[in-house]
Structure 1
Amino acid sequence: MNADATGTVSSITDTHCPYCALQCGMGLRRGPGAGGGLEVVPRETFPVNRGALCGKGQNAPAVLDPAARLTAPLVRDTRGGPLRPASWPEALDRVAAGLAAARDRHGPDAVGVFGGGGLTNEKAYALGKFARVVLRTSQIDYNGRFCMSSAAAAGTRAFGLDRGLPFPLADIPRTGCLILVGANPAETMPPFVRHLTELRANGGTLIVVDPRRTRTAELADLHLAPRPGTDLALALGLLHLVVAEGRADEAYIAQRTSGWPAARAAAMAHWPELAERVTGVPLPALREAVRLFCAPEAAMVLTARGPEQQSKGTDTVGAWIDLCLATGRPGRPYSGYGCLTGQGNGQGGREHGQKADQLPGYRSLTDPAARAHVAAVWGVDPADLPGPGRSAYELLDALGRDTPDGVRALLLMGSNPVVSAPRAAHVEARIRALDFLAVCDVVASETALLADVVLPVTQWAEETGTLTSLEGRVLLRRKAVDPPPGCRSDLAVLNGLAARLGHTTGFPVDAAEVFEELRRASAGGRADYAGISHARIAAEDGVFWPCPSPQHPGTPRLFLDRFATPDGRARFAGVEHRPSAEEPCAEYPLLLTTGRVLAQYQSGAQTRRVPELNAASPGPFVQLHPRLAARLGVSEGNRLAVESRRGRAVAPARIGAGIREDTVFMPFHWPGAGRANTVTNPALDPTSRMPEFKVCAVRVTRVGGED
């Protein structure tokens, strides 16, 4: 079912959607439509989506159309001059020279590498190896830092291991109560909703925590609408009620956890009336949530970007984990805590080395044993591996700075920070200040258009590679069609650059060969892929890690016998609520929160090129409550300016009762005047280094005219 030498598909190729971390199964075959002539065929056998696809997945082949994407390298002859087509040898020579010049003039850490959560495991692995072996730089991170790093930090602290979901999605309909915190899967990953409807059909209950009454909240038995930035206080208020009402599972706590006295004391300091005052959630609703959550034998909490993208995101997730531990949920059937990963390979992307502090296998870069193991696989001296570098926003903030620790040249692969980074106007200015920028991308993104060299790379249906879904299931996304002649894979780009920089071996272009090395590098690590291969994934339709040997069945459910901590016990966080980095004041009296809409994805670089998706979601907007609109004298469609201490975004008003009166919402998919991330706050969580995308103080004014 692979493409033949001409790229023709004679039968259906089983593969996966290129967008979110559900990685829905789909089939591709040659069809009459646009998008490289491929059409999507439902794939009923894949358990995550069972044939269902959202509009993004259904229209995914559109971006394969040469008219929608880059098809030849582009170079800029002079600073500020136009980009022009170039040959691959010229473009690669330019990139190698630009990176080498910065390294030779200012040292290895003057060269930065910025990756993406959509890169396959093979690409993420090779990119991390390239940064540390070829460039010898510590300055590498990726946009997945903006995805679930707070949940990863909290999960590692509590359980000793971070995997988005420690159980398969198929377990969700079999739980008794599910609390979704800051998640809107009805719009961000619609096929997930089937699991929610089955949960309720089976007699389970759904609680949604969100300051907006989203499409997901409409499905809930109970909707809690806290003030943005107060999810930590809400979790502690619920835990207080668990203790006060005698609902804690003391036998489980004694047998499987540590740190309960401190966590209990922290919860008792957040009495329900205080939680009500801080969050705005009425006390009766808090009591009802505890009743619903504690009544069944099995229950789950799943968090997403809402509680995680905060300057206290790690502690916020820790408080929700504490609620699960106090009620005896983690490590029991159909129960526990999990995180809904956002990007397509947000899970695998951080496991194999493109994160600033990690080596393949989810190993720590500061662990001497981990360094020795990976260095042996790579054939280098462990002492030659650089140490941890800056986190994503800190790396972007260091770009172009004329200081001893400034980053002067950047290789960027699979990301669009001009739209997606917080304080985006500042990040754009830093990118423009670089001595040299090279971008590998499928499309001419806003960031790519600032580059000195743009390298057109292959995408999902044009190459084979693995991704790791939000379940921890390692999947094989198969090639279905040949790319345009002017495009090369990211692996081929790294191979060509490595050779030009003195490394003629160690960077193969075949994904299966790269994966074989990844298996050896991950062996014995927390994310152990040693028993997984492309062939096995194809035969089993995915393998759950950890899988330490070919004979191992994989691990769909973690923690059933013990947690991954040294003593096997889960650890309570024992955290206390604190304010957001930026609270409303007289000058900026409202709160802004951001998120996604159904038809667009991430920075919109790809989905904004699909007519069907643009027709459904043509541009940015500002959602506000009718009473707030009345106070501001605003009508539907009026152009509004949303201003913070960092900048100003302008978009039309969308008025409705499905949002708190003290809050406005903007989606973040668009550049230009409506760029929501111009306004957002880069204040960082001290542990995860996650920026506070989800809450900042703003003022809203009408600027006149209709959209």
Structure 2
Amino acid sequence: MTRTALRICPLCEATCGLTLTVEGSRVTAARGDRDDVFSRGFICPKGASFGALDADPDRLRVPLVRRGGELREASWEEAFAAVADGIRPLVERYGPGVVGVVLGNPNVHTVAGALYPPVLIGALGTRAVFTASTLDQMPKHVSSGLLFGDANAIPVPDLDRTDHLLLIGANPVESNGSLCTAPDFPGRLKALRARGGTLTVIDPRRTRTAKLADRHVAIRPGTDALLLAAVAHVLFEEGLTDLGALAAHVEGVDELRATLRDFTPESVAPACDVDAATTRSLARELVAAPTAAVYARIGSCTVAHGTLASWLVDVLNVLTGNLDRPGGALFPQAATDKTPRPAGPGRGFALGRWRSRVSGHPEAKGELPLAALAEEIDTGVAGGGVPAAGAGTAAGAGTAAGAGTPAAGAGTVAGAGTAAAGSGTPVAGAGTAAAPAGAEAHPLRALVAVAANPVLSAPDGDRLDKALASLDFMVSVDPYLNETSRHAHVVLPPPPPAQSPHHDFAFNALAVRNQVRYTRPAVPLEPGRMAETEIMARLILAVTGAGTGTGTGPGGTDPAAVDDMVIGQTLRRAVREPHSPVHGRDPGELTALLTGADGPERRLDLMLRLGPYGDGFGARPDGLTLDKLLAHPHGIDLGPLRPRLPQPLKTRSGKVELLPGPIAADLPRLRRALADRPAGLVLVGRRHLRSNNSWMHNIPALTGGSNRCTLHLHPEDAARLGVRDGAAVRVKGAGGEVTVPAEVTDSVRPGVVSLPHGWGHDRPGTRLSHAATDPGVNVNQLLDGSLLDPLSGNAVLNGVPVTLTPTP
């Protein structure tokens, strides 16, 4: 029997609505849902390949448990018992700090990945939290935290109403957007130009996005912050600043003017390789446009001054009066955000509340740099690891700690609001937060990895590969036996996407239009499968010693206890908050009103009801509930983005703090960069439309064509080095070397080479049969992990020096 079913696509940040064709229990086709309130029928090649990914024969179907050195199929009960037996003795002997948690990019694309990692981290009580955010967008979180007091308050460009878009280090025509959720981003850019608007792209590559632009500025990689500082300088120098209505909500303008005095267009030109006249034009065009927005992404984040570049993006939006106004950059309001609190001073944002054990890297948003994971495992007992003065416990940081599963990016799971609420309180049997000051700090001995493949995504995968092999215990929640999960002692495989529900907790908080959508599983769970939400709930119970059985009897605790705990804690807190719509009510009465088929749906209902559009458990009868959302299968449109300041601000002043202390302290490092000149070639990454990091290379329909692992090299550099198109070339960096085919093209500027991210599928012990046929090379093996943006701990993946040698 053939039928259709709706499903929100989980394969990138665009979150397009799909209409699936289902034959029996198999998805045979996918097309765009024309009635979807957000995507209106748009679909990309990834979404069109939904069925192939869903049915990939290499996806694991049952748990694997290591016995006698080999991973063997096991029952779910055996798997969770092995988790408890592996984790609990280590925690009881050494403390919770010996267990690390690694969260990968796909976490932000699933309901389970949004709801449960914060609870897991809080239950374990560990500060050793590493996510893909520190390979991607952590600089933006840090700059937002410092400017606005909230690391997840990220303004997005109002694409559909802006007159001028300045786009830096982003290629949304191929990425579909990042930290800016916008189905059909290419169509929106074309519409901008069609209505007479202007698109300017700053990128060392002439990307498909740059080809659409009115102006393409081929900047030298890694110098975005210098150029943006010079643009801000021009605004001050020429009297072009105009904060407009923002003025009452901003402090530090005069101090900013003084500190940017040295960054003239002429002084930055040699480092950026952008002439002063162009820089001045960029500034003047921003001001001349009726509305304008500056938007930057991974190319500006994954560089040595990533946080400064991210900060300066919003500085320019502020100085031109374009922050928080239609056509500029606005703060989205997701349906599952917490009840908006009254405007006023908040707690602010703190960096470095604790530091990593080996190198002393400061935490950011509750996370340590993923580039430091290997040394935290393979380096012996060392100093560090103790809390900074006034630091809270890791459990108290539970919400923040779980927030960084990117994205990619994404990395804004704490944007799930009350989903993370209560995650700071351990489940019964959980250990305490972290070793107290002065206690001995131990190397990581165990790891919980959820949808993560850092052997390919983090710098120096060879070292991490060896480090993972030395762990006493590792559990991986992953559908594949990949380059990282092959080291696990237990692998817990979630079901395919068609068998899972979907709501975009993270990406709705970054969307260019306010809307809400939810789809239940398109296909029932296959026999022997376990829902990913149940896997995560049972994992929490297992690591805390609260239960390992898969039943609700003596052999284990009902996994619904985890959801009940979060619901109870959230409601008890909500009824105490004066601004809450349920202030003063009985939590038990409210709990009884929740609807939903299971714990995750009840939590979604809770978040919708307490959210900014919710019914407040009857206080606003026309408001959102899960039942109302289910009655609108194509979603509910909540309207265009609206100005929201000062309400989103949580700084201690209650204002946009334009020159935060940590930023001011890092600016001398940027001044020193004025004298930097790369002596040779520098490396940048590359994104392909049919790819999303390392987790789609096993799908034949998504590989080949332009999605190939080749080194892009400018013809001038190729001629100078004697490199022929298609010939193998050896690329060497601080972390190692790789040999890869050269692709000579003028789409990359001279002095720059480009390799895509996520390849290198040639390690033994994996089960990725298609990916292994054309494995490519791991670009991150060229990095040794020592280069980090000091404020955010983000790995420097772009603008790094490399050397090239033609192979004989």
Does residue 572 in structure 1 map to residue 658 in structure 2? yes
Residue number in structure 2 paired with 1:110: 98
Q: Could you list the per-position Cα deviations for residues 351-381 of structure 1 after superposition, in whole angstroms to 9, with x for gaps in the alignment?
A: xx9967744489999xxxx99x955995879
Task: Supply the distance in 1 between the matched residues of 2:125 and 2:611 (Cα, whole angstroms).
Answer: 23
Distance 1:649 1:57 in 2: 32
Indicate how the Cα distance of structure 1 residues 422 and 527 shifts in structure 2: closer, same or farther if over 3 A, else same: farther
2 CA distance for matches of 1:325 and 1:382? 48
CA distance in 2, matches of 1:412, 1:364: 15
Superposed displacement of residue 234, structure 1: 0.5
- Which residue, 419, 422, 435 being the options, matches 2:472? 435
AA partner of residue 520 (structure 2): R
Deviation at 1:94, TM superposition (A): 1.6
Task: Indicate yes or no: 2:459 matched with 1:422.
Answer: yes
CA contact (8 A) 1:362 1:522 kept: no
Counterpart position of 1:641 = 730
1:237-256: CA deviation from partner (whole Å, max 9, x where unpaired): 11112222221105556433
Report the identity percentage. 28
Specify the alignment match of 2:562 in structure 1: 507
Q: 1:455 to 1:674 in 2, by over 3 A?
A: same
Task: Name 1:398's counterpart in structure 2.
Answer: none
Aligned partners of 1:95 and 1:383: how far apart in 2?
Answer: 14
Equivalent-residue separation in structure 2 for 1:319 and 1:542 (angstroms): 35
In structure 2, the residue matched to 1:347 is none
Distance 1:473 1:109, change over 3 A: farther
**1:599 paired to 2:654:** no
Cα RMSD of the aligned pairs, angstroms, is: 3.7
Q: Letter of the aligned partner of 1:256 in structure 2?
A: H
**Residue by residue, what CA displacement relative to the aligned partner does 1:275-329 show, whole Å, maximum 9, x if unpaired?**
2111001223222222322112211111111111123211111112111111111
| Structure 1 segment 117-128 matched on structure 2, within 5 A | 117-119=105-107, 120-128=110-118
Q: Aligned letter for 2:92?
A: D
Contact conserved, 2:145 with 2:153, CA < 8 A, in 1?
no
Task: Give the stretch that moved more between structures: 375-384 or 414-423.
Answer: 375-384
SS in 2 for 1:615: coil
Give the number of aligned pairs: 647
Q: Which amino acid aligns with 2:733?
A: S
- Note the C-alpha offset of 1:558: 4.8
Is 2:756 the partner of 1:667? yes
Q: Give, in whole Å, the separation in 1 of the partners of 2:483 and 2:239.
A: 55
Quote the residue 1:482 is aligned against. 524
Match of 2:444 in 1: 407
- Alpha carbons 2:287, 2:320 under 8 Å: kept: yes
Q: Output the CA distance in 2 between the equivalents of 1:85 and 1:380.
A: 29
Q: Is the 8 A contact 1:259 1:572 kept in 2?
A: yes
Residues 63, 382 of structure 1: CA spacing in aligned structure 2 closer, same or farther, 3 A cutoff?
A: closer
User: Could you tell me how far apart the structure 1 residues matched to 2:93 and 2:463 are?
Assistant: 26
Structure 1 residues 144-178: Cα deviation after superposition (integer angstroms, max 9, x where no partner): 332322111112222233457646x7x41311100
Unpaired runs of 5+ residues, structure 2, are 178-183, 333-364, 369-393, 405-416, 548-556, 565-595, 617-622, 763-775
Mapped contact 2:162–2:292 kept (Cα < 8 A)? yes
Q: Relative to structure 1, is the Cα distance of residues 354 and 266 closer, same or farther in structure 2, using a 3 angstrom cutoff?
A: closer
Partner Cα distance (1:539, 1:163) in 2: 30
Name the structure 2 match of 1:559: 644
Preserved CA contact (<8 Å) 1:360 1:521: no
Match of 1:244 in 2: 237
Matched letter for residue 703 of structure 1: T
Q: Deviations over 1:213-251 (max 9, x none)?
A: 100000011111211110000001111122222211055
Q: Where do 1:219-368 residues align within 5 Å?
A: 219-249=212-242, 251-252=244-245, 254-336=247-329, 358-360=397-399
2:17 and 2:709 map into 1 onto residues whose CA distance is 30
Q: Deviations over 1:371-416 (max 9, x none)?
A: 9x95599587999762699xxxxxxxxxxxxx94211111111111
Q: Which amino acid in structure 2 is aligned with residue 175 of structure 1? A: T
Paired with 1:114 and 1:526, the residues of 2 have a C-alpha distance of 31
CA contact (8 A) 2:604 2:626 kept: no
Matches of 2:329 and 2:320, distance apart in 1: 10
> Of 591, 614, 618, which aligns to 2:703?
614
Contact preservation (8 Å) 1:166, 1:556? no
Distance 1:225 1:387, change over 3 A: farther
Q: Could you tell which deviates more after superposition, 208-217 or 330-339? A: 330-339
Normalised TM-score (structure 1):
0.82
Distance in 2 of aligned mates of 1:579 and 1:598: 37
**Cα drift, residue 88 of structure 1:** 2.0
Distance 1:278 1:436, change over 3 A: same
- Correspondence for 2:536: 494
CA distance in 1, matches of 2:304, 2:265: 23
Q: Which runs of 5+ in 1 are unaligned?
A: 1-7, 340-352, 390-402, 545-552
The CA deviation at 1:554 is 9.0
* Structure-2 separation of matches of 1:243 and 1:581: 20
Report if aligned partners of 2:153, 2:648 keep a CA contact under 8 Å in 1: no
* 2:638 is the counterpart of 1:535: no
Q: Provide the residue aligned with 1:396 in structure 2.
A: none
Paired residues of 1:582 and 1:697 also in contact (CA < 8 A)? no
Match for 1:677 among 780, 798, 801? Answer: 780
Q: Shift in Å at residue 131 of structure 1?
A: 3.0
C-alpha change, 1:675 and 1:384, in structure 2 (3 Å) is: closer
Q: 2-side partners of 1:315 and 1:194: how far apart? A: 30
How many Å separate the matches in 2 of 1:571 and 1:527? 29
| Corresponding letter in the other structure for 1:625 | H
Counterpart check, 1:15 vs 2:7: yes
Q: Relative to 1, partners in 2 of residues 1:254 and 1:617: Cα closer, same or farther, differing over 3 Å? A: closer
- The corresponding residue for 2:169 is 182
Task: Tell me, yes or no, if the aligned pair for 2:164 and 2:289 is still in contact at 8 Å.
Answer: yes
Matching of residue 386 in structure 1 with residue 433 in structure 2: yes
2:18 alignment partner, SS class: strand
374-383 vs 432-441, which moves further = 374-383
Q: Distance in 1 between matches of 2:428 and 2:64?
A: 37
Whether contact under 8 Å (1:438, 1:454) holds in the other structure is yes
